């Protein structure tokens, strides 16, 4: 548990929890102190060198602490710290590709290599000359696949697996010779470390864990799978709930906390299970599934009688109409969960809960039985329920809304939607198209009233839709990671221009109002480059990654850059898993130009080079594949879009892997260079095809996709998915490059304009400008002037460190010196000290705009 917490603090906060990683040193005898001091100094310098090679820079406090430790203790700390860092970067694995001399020894003709393999597989016989070269006594079987391999035709010093089937073979097999060549390095100069992240000393891991846990539970958006795992680790390290904040806005996060507190604080269920879906989420967590309700529990578990009574009592306290509607919203899941709850067993004690399940199951009731009397008496009390032939029926809220739209009465649908602000906000686009012109003012008025109760995540999502022009491409992201994304042309009629502007103004005004209620700031400091980052959205299906970046965000890539993609996985015992790292290349019209994968190891000679296809990954070595991309060469042959894809060739979900990750390095020094890792992401969940990102070689933008593709059957390969990849890539560029979706720049501008009269902006061309809110200037006007980056009030000298007096700092690279206690967002924290400033993420900025929450957790 201590190691898990240390890993978490290091990954999320750049904190080295020395109280978890090292024992308390004893006091050395006087005659040894001076010598040990010199040894510790030398050891600390060596440790710093190793960390810098991995892109990490120890802080001054960390240096002084390490230099004051006994050499033995420092050695233990350094060993554990480097192991944790390597595990995060992916360097802990032993990366052995198929061709160990990659990229120099990759065959130029993939087809000839395939023909040779087929001939050797089908025609080679024991005790016969080699069918390829005719040599005698050079053919031997390899273990365990037993394929006959000629030592003259297949170079055992270069191969890392069987040359015929590409499966791993025994490490001590005579065929695998000591490599005669060193792993090739890039021909150009090695990339210098550009983004050193500061490692900060932490001697109070409990306090740091409490701060991280508080930030997670206060998120306004649902947590990703990695965040949920992190929260569980943090809660296990914090046995007392005294750290819990007053508000937990997201229901999925709330039930995680409730499940943790259930045994010691069961009464919390009385106040914090507000809907039937809350209870359902809690049931999922108790049965080992995630609270997003996307993937049901692997096995439905029986519940203790006391727990069943607690959950049924929580359901029984809810308003009957809302309870029944909520149960029907997840009809099939609740039917399965009812078998674990046994609601009819407690019908007389919890009649409202029994009524909801009677509606769900359409149970025929007999008034002469205890169940029938309890349920029917409750149904009679409420006019929304009706009894037909012994069964209780109900017209739900969703039914009334859809019936109004179907009957051509959008005004009536608006009247119904006014009852639920969140639903009204989500249906604004539909209403704007359906309502007659004389009712559009009523829609603006209704949204103005409802917006104050709607979460900021919904507000910015609707705002992006209002600003999106029609006749483009609609892109759909399912709620969880189980289903793939898809795109289709947008044939809808355009929204009335004046109505769309009025509705967008309502949403922007509401967000500014919430921001203005936050503590005032003397100054804000912003990077113009934040416009390339998307505002935070749902992270339910987001991959766990080294650099946390929202889907749709873009980053600049140097024109002549060299990228090395990497993939590593370990298959479970008894199951063969064949993953493939592939690259699809498209021209400016999204026409398929070519590929680099196991069927074509070289694209245009050296523009893209694949390390070879490994078809198994037994523990402990696993399997690794690499692809080198020369972006300038790819562009020179007509390529514009480069799309890496990870396929599960034999259709095994990523979630079954013992370990699986992929990523990208820039200008690596050697086969796998931890200091060159720009991004690393885990392979997890039920997906079998992952599209992590794409590079636009014309605009020099790498855009983060993190999309799953639909998969059917076996033998997945990139050539068969070229059309689907092109549609998704075109849709992502159309949606996010247009600038219609809300960006992190806009979110930060709303904070800055509403909370500070003085805002300094560092522009992408290196210039620095200043915006000052004039006396009498309207907040909306000032925010729009700042957001659109026009009419600055003053041009400052480049290099001016205005961040030193800023209470809010939002930058791409943390190369600034904000004052102690400032709120700071940095995509790459670099030299920022987490113990001096408050490092926040985009979700934290969004969470600050949460309306007054109704859900409170108190101990």
221-251 confidence digits (pLDDT tens): 778 778 888 888 898 888 787 888 877 878 8
694-706 confidence digits (pLDDT tens): 999 998 889 998 8
Alpha helices in 202-275 (DSSP H): 205-217, 225-237, 251-261, 268-272
Whole-angstrom distance, CA of residue 766 vs CA of residue 797:
10
Does the structure show a pLDDT above 60 at 483? no
| Beta-carbon contacts of residue 775 (< 8 Å; ≥ 6 apart) | none
Structure tokens at 294: 């996307």
Give the pLDDT of residue 770: 94
Please name every residue paired with 600 in a beta bridge, in sequence order, or none if there are none: 597
Whole-angstrom distance, CA of residue 448 vs CA of residue 450:
6
SS (H, E, C) 288-301: CCCCCCCCCCCCCC
Whole-angstrom distance, CA of residue 377 vs CA of residue 360:
17
Does the structure show a pLDDT above 60 at 488? yes
| Cα distance from N-terminal residue to C-terminal residue, the chain | 24
Structure tokens at 50: 């190793």
Structure tokens at 163: 């040359």
Mean pLDDT of the region 741-754: 94
Whole-angstrom distance, CA of residue 717 vs CA of residue 582:
8
Mean pLDDT of the region 683-703: 89
Q: Which of 31-35, 329-333, 409-413, 854-858 has the lowest mean pLDDT?
A: 854-858
- The most confident of 128-137, 263-272, 357-366, 623-632, by mean pLDDT: 623-632
Closest CA to 625 of 604, 606, 598: 598
Whole-angstrom distance, CA of residue 746 vs CA of residue 43:
47
773 confidence band (pLDDT: 50, 70, 90): very high
Q: Which helix (H) or strand (E) holds 15?
A: strand 15-17
Strand pairing class (197-202; 15-17): parallel
Does the structure show a pLDDT above 50 at 587? yes
Whole-angstrom distance, CA of residue 815 vs CA of residue 747:
21
Is the Cβ–Cβ distance between 830 and 544 less than 8 Å? no
> In Å, what is the CA distance from 353 to each residue of 253, 329, 485?
24, 15, 37
User: What single-letter DSSP state applies at residue 321?
Assistant: H
Give the pLDDT of residue 24: 56
| Beta-carbon contacts of residue 684 (< 8 Å; ≥ 6 apart) | 225, 481, 543, 544, 654, 655, 657, 660
Give the pLDDT of residue 460: 92
CA dihedral 308, 262, 686, 251 (to 10 degrees): 100
Does the structure show a pLDDT above 70 at 688? yes
492-519 confidence digits (pLDDT tens): 888 888 999 999 999 999 999 999 999 9
**Higher-confidence position of 705 and 381:** 705
193-202 confidence digits (pLDDT tens): 446 788 888 8
Give the pLDDT of residue 427: 93
187 confidence band (pLDDT: 50, 70, 90): very low
Give the pLDDT of residue 668: 87
Does the structure show a pLDDT above 80 at 766? yes
Beta strand ranges found along 389-433 (DSSP E): 391-394
Rg (CA), the chain: 30
Is the Cβ–Cβ distance between 59 and 201 less than 8 Å? yes
Q: Which of 191-195, 346-350, 573-577, 606-610 has the lowest mean pLDDT?
A: 191-195
Q: Which of 174-178, 314-318, 349-353, 644-648 has the lowest mean pLDDT?
A: 174-178
778-794 confidence digits (pLDDT tens): 999 999 999 998 888 89
Q: Which helix (H) or strand (E) holds 278?
A: helix 276-286
Q: Selecting from 3.40.140.10, 1.10.150.120, 3.40.50.280, 2.60.60.30, what CATH number does the domain 554-736 have?
A: 2.60.60.30
Q: Where are the domain boundaries for CATH 2.60.60.30 in the chain?
A: 554-736
What share of the chain in percent tops pLDDT 90? 39
Q: In what order do the strands lie in the sheet with 677-682?
A: 602-603, 608-610, 623-630, 562-570, 659-666, 677-682
């Amino acid at each position: 548990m201590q190691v898990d917490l240390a890993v978490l603090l290091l990954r999320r906060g750049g904190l080295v929890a020395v109280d978890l990683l090292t024992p308390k040193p004893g006091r050395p005898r006087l005659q040894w102190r001076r010598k040990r001091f010199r040894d510790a100094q030398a050891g600390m310098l060596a440790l710093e060198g190793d960390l810098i090679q991995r892109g990490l820079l120890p802080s001054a406090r960390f240096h002084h602490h390490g230099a004051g430790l006994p050499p033995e203790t420092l050695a233990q700390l350094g060993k554990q710290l480097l192991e944790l860092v390597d595990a995060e970067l992916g360097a802990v694995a032993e990366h052995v590709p198929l061709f160990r001399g990659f990229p120099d020894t990759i065959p130029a003709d993939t087809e000839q290599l395939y023909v040779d393999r087929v001939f050797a597989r089908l025609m080679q016989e024991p005790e016969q000359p080699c069918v390829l070269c005719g040599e005698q006594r050079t053919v031997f079987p390899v273990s365990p696949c037993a394929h006959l391999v000629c030592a003259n035709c297949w170079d055992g010093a270069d191969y890392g697996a069987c040359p015929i089937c590409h499966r791993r073979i025994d490490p001590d097999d005579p065929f695998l010779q000591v490599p005669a060549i060193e792993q090739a390095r890039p021909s150009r100069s090695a990339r210098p470390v550009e983004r050193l992240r500061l490692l900060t000393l932490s001697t109070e891991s409990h306090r740091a864990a409490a701060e991280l846990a508080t930030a997670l539970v206060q998120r306004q958006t649902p947590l990703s799978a990695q965040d949920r795992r992190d929260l569980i680790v943090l809660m296990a390290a914090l046995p007392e709930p005294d750290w819990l904040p007053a508000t937990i806005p997201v229901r999925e996060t709330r039930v995680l906390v409730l499940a943790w507190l259930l045994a010691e604080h069961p009464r919390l269920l009385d106040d914090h299970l507000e809907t039937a879906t809350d209870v359902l989420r809690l049931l999922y967590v108790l049965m080992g599934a995630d609270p997003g309700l996307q993937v049901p529990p692997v096995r439905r578990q029986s519940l203790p009688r006391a727990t069943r009574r607690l959950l049924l009592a929580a359901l029984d306290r809810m308003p009957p109409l809302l309870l029944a509607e909520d149960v029907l919203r997840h009809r099939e899941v609740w039917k399965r969960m009812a078998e674990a709850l046994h609601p009819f067993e407690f019908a007389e004690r919890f009649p409202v809960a029994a009524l909801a399940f009677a509606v769900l199951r359409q149970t025929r009731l007999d008034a002469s039985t205890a169940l029938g009397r309890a349920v029917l008496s409750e149904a009679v009390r409420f006019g929304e329920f009706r009894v037909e032939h012994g069964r209780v029926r109900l017209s739900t809220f969703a039914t009334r809304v859809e019936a109004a739209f179907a009957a051509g009465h959008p005004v009536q649908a608006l009247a119904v939607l006014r009852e639920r602000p969140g639903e009204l906000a989500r249906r604004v686009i539909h209403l704007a198209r359906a309502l007659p012109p004389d009712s559009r003012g009523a829609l603006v008025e209704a949204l103005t009233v409802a917006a104050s109760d709607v979460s900021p995540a919904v507000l910015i999502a609707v705002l992006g839709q209002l600003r999106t022009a029609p006749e483009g491409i609609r892109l759909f992201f399912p709620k969880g990671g189980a289903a793939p994304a898809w795109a289709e042309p947008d044939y809808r009629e355009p929204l009335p221009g004046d109505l769309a502007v009025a509705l967008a103004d309502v949403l922007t005004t509401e967000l500014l109002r919430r921001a203005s209620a936050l503590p005032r700031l003397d100054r804000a400091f912003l990077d113009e480059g934040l416009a390339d980052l998307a505002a935070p959205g749902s992270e339910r299906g987001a991959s766990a990654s080294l650099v946390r970046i929202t889907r749709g965000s873009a980053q600049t890539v140097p024109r002549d850059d060299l990228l090395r993609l990497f993939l590593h996985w370990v298959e479970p015992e008894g199951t063969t898993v064949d993953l493939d790292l592939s690259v699809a290349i498209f021209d400016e019209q999204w026409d398929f130009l070519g590929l680099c994968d196991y069927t074509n190891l070289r694209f245009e000679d050296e523009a893209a080079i694949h390390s070879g296809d490994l078809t198994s990954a037994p523990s402990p070595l696993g399997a690794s594949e690499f692809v080198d991309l020369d972006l300038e060469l790819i562009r020179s042959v007509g390529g514009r879009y480069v799309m890496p894809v990870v396929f599960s060739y034999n259709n095994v979900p990523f979630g079954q892997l013992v370990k699986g990750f992929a990523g990208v390095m820039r200008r690596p020094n050697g086969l796998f260079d931890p200091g060159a890792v720009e991004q690393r992401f885990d392979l997890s969940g039920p997906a079998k095809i992952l599209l992590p990102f794409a590079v636009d070689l014309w605009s020099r933008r790498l855009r983060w996709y993190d999309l799953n593709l639909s998969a059917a059957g076996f033998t997945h390969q990139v050539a068969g998915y070229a059309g689907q990849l092109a549609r998704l890539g075109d849709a992502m560029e159309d949606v996010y490059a247009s600038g219609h979706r809300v960006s992190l720049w806009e979110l930060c501008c709303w904070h800055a304009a509403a909370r500070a009269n003085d805002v300094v902006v560092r522009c992408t061309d290196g210039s620095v400008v200043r915006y000052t809110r004039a006396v009498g200037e309207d907040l909306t006007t000032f925010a729009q002037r700042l957001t659109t980056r026009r009419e600055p009030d003053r041009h400052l000298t480049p290099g001016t460190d205005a961040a030193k007096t800023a209470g809010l700092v939002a930058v791409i690279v943390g190369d600034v010196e904000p004052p102690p206690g400032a709120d700071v967002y940095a995509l790459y924290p670099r030299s920022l000290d987490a113990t001096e400033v408050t490092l926040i993420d985009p979700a934290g900025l969004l969470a600050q705009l949460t309306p007054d929450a109704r859900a409170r957790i108190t101990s």
